[in-house]
Structure 1
Amino acid sequence: MSVLTLSASDFDPDVRVAAFQDAVASMCRLQITPADDAAFHSHTTIGLLPGLMTGQTMHSRCDVVRTKALAAETGDNIMVHVPLSGGFSMYQQGGSNVVCTPGSVYLDPNELPGSAEFHGERNDAFYLSIPRAFLASAGTSLNGALREVQPVTPQWRLLLRYARSLHEELALLPAEEIATCSSHIHDLTIMAMGASREAEEIARGRGVRAARLKAIKADIEQNLVSPQLDSGWIAARHSISPRYIRSLFAGEGTSFRDYVARRRLLLAHRRLCDPAQSMLGISEIALSCGFSDLSWFNASFRRTFGRTPRDVRAEALAAAFAAR
């Protein structure tokens, strides 16, 4: 797995456009014609994963063409175009003229020639490129979705949140976890396209559950010390049942309550180790981290970290003093 960062400004102005389109050829084979050669700018990051490429790009107004010759070099991939700002008009062989703007997605069969015009002075977009073989279980829904603009449904939002988060964290994840996440993207894409019932059930058991759990954990983190934080409150925010939330955490060998307690204990541990918070009492820190029962906090802290809160604070302050 690797992450590539490419900027048009890195190339000599005399060859900037040609050099840039050669550099991004790992994701797409296109001829780029800027509205203004001298002012052309683009910044792109590409993630190369098993059975998947992700891309985040920003570029100026331009036209792009995929000729028959370039299309023949792309392989049998499906590219998901997701405009974040600006937008484009597109025509591909066998399709119709379409316009794609933020709030919609376009599924591009890379093996077909076509052309596009990017409208805005600044165009931000996110891309996924997936070999067609990984989407085969979607059945007829795949072919029916190609060369068409689709609205961003809840299923697409679920996929895109997961995919963009994965793209941002790629450089920090171990290879085996990246491979697992890549398979989740395949499943979520099948779901978003409106797969057959059989394919949907397969995907629901993997990618959708993983994305749901990731979104719920992120929400927990943002509301970690809120007194409202419980499974019912989170379930209502995500329009799912508390029972489904319990099943998600059970699949990881824990419970919602234990997961929240663990995250709060880690937060308390960080604050106790922070010299800047040494003037706060241990009970104040416990309460600020969402613990209302101090006896339970002390017992749980010692069981988790093998030391009392007082011992952890003393060791951290001693280490900070010695480092001066």
Structure 2
Amino acid sequence: MLEWHTRGLAVRDRFPSWRDTMSQALVATWLATQQPASFYASARVFDLGGLQLSAMSHNTLQADRPAKLIRQSDPEVFQLHLVLTGSGGITQAGRSAVFQSGQFLLIDSSRPYRGWRGADDVPVESLIIQFPRAALGLRAKVAEQLVAAPFPVEGGITGVLAGHLTQLSENAESLTRQNAETLTSVTLDLIAAACAHQLEATGMLSPESRRRALLSLIHQFIRQRLGDPDLTAETIATAHQISVRQLYKLFEEQGMTVAGWIRRCRLEQCRRDLADPCQRSRLIQTIAARWGFTDAATFSRNFRATYGMSPRDHRNLSAADRALSAS
């Protein structure tokens, strides 16, 4: 992981250092700022094998990648930006667009572009996924229709992708190599599905990409409804316009059942809440009911089978561990 920030640098070195570091870590770009004396920035860059994830924050900035620079160095990658705060503008591939928080922006390293980000007093925060053009799973000419054409984070696949990237950035530092490879594959499938959905070209996705994207949507759907005791395979299948048999097959390929996955997610939420000191006064059954367990005996039995102790013992052990850490 590369972690970089302007703290501790002399004022005169902040922008030049950022310019040189980011051009090496990402795509070579001519960067400029009108206010070098007040420039500030930070970045965390993770190499996950098949892609690179960056979490960035900075104030006003101009970027220029002319044809001359592309001829000198072109890694032939796409960059997908998830804009978290702030705004900016870009011109590429004959398009000019303004983008803002809550949007995705796709940039092509093989085409000249010019853009600006942020303002003097309003930092821009974004997550950037950089990956080989050939890894997207969509024909390049299809994906290029989204270059410099911002699209919003909404429900469905774009919302799932945004949530996935946020969680990935929060946990990237602790990933094992095997987990990173798996998440790289899932991330690329979600990006391809989001792009295809935006272009109404989902038929161009590979069957594997469609399957994994659909499974991610289903997982998100379930997590949002864990507190509903009537959550069933039938309601999940209907919501995603597939048969119950297809739904069962999707989960069987993951080595689990639909009911088993729902139960596991509910137990994870209960386990978290029982360890939360802010919820110490809440009844155990109240917590269980919040996450869809309507029968106390069934909840206790499932909890013990999964974690090797009763819900009460887990709560008391968590409290004891906190007390020991505080002493």
The answer to whether TM tops 0.5 is yes
The 1-side partners of 2:237 and 2:294 are apart by 23
Deviation at 1:50, TM superposition (A): 1.6
User: Shift in Å at residue 16 of structure 1?
Assistant: 1.4
Displacement of 1:56? 2.1
Mean CA deviation greater in 271-280 or 133-142: 271-280
Q: Which residue of 2 aligns with 1:149?
A: 149
CA contact (8 A) 1:274 1:316 kept: no
* Aligned equivalents of 2:243, 2:124: Cα separation in 1: 40
CA shift in 2, pair 1:66/1:294, >3 Å: closer
When residues 283 and 138 of structure 1 are mapped into structure 2, their CA distance, relative to the original with a 3 A threshold, is: same
Q: Normalising by structure 1, what TM-score?
A: 0.77
Partner letter of residue 168 of structure 1? Answer: E
How many Å separate the matches in 2 of 1:79 and 1:273? 39
- Per-residue CA deviation, residues 263-302 of structure 1 (Å, 9 max, x unaligned), is 4455666777899999988767766765433443454445
Residue 4 (structure 1) shift = 2.2
Q: Which residue of 2 is the match for residue 8 of structure 1?
A: 6
Aligned to 2:125: 124
Residue pairs, 1:11-26, within 5 angstroms: 11-25=9-23, 26=25
Once residues 283 and 103 of structure 2 are traced to their aligned partners in structure 1, the CA distance between those partners, rounded to angstroms, is 51
Matches for 1:173-188 after TM superposition, within 5 Å = 173-188=175-190
Contact 2:89/2:116 (8 A) holds in 1: yes
After TM superposition, give the deviation of residue 20 of structure 1 in Å: 0.9
Aligned letter for 1:126?
L
Q: Conserved in 2, the CA contact under 8 Å of 1:40 and 1:60?
A: yes
Q: TM-score, normalised by structure 2?
A: 0.76
Gaps of 5+ in 1: none
Displacement, 1:134? Answer: 0.9
Q: What is the alpha-carbon distance in structure 1 between the residues aligned to residue 6 and residue 40 of structure 2?
A: 6
RMSD between aligned alpha carbons? 3.9
Residue among 178, 183, 192 paired with 1:190: 192
For 1:19, the aligned partner's letter is: S
Aligned to 2:15, what secondary structure does the other structure show? helix
* Distance of 1:314 and 1:133 partners within structure 2: 49
Q: Report the counterpart of residue 60 of structure 1 in structure 2.
A: 59
Aligned partner (choices 203, 206, 221) of residue 209 of structure 2: 203
Larger radius of gyration: 1
Instruction: Assess if the C-alpha contact under 8 Å between 1:145 and 1:193 holds in 2.
Output: yes
Would the alpha carbon gap of residues 85 and 291 (structure 1) be closer, same or farther in structure 2, given more than 3 Å must change?
Answer: closer
Which runs of 5 or more structure 2 residues have no equivalent in the other structure? none
Higher deviation after alignment, 283-292 or 169-178: 283-292
Could you tell me whether the CA contact under 8 Å between 1:138 and 1:190 is conserved in 2?
Answer: no
> Which residue of 1 is the match for residue 224 of structure 2?
219
User: SS in structure 1 opposite 2:38?
Assistant: coil
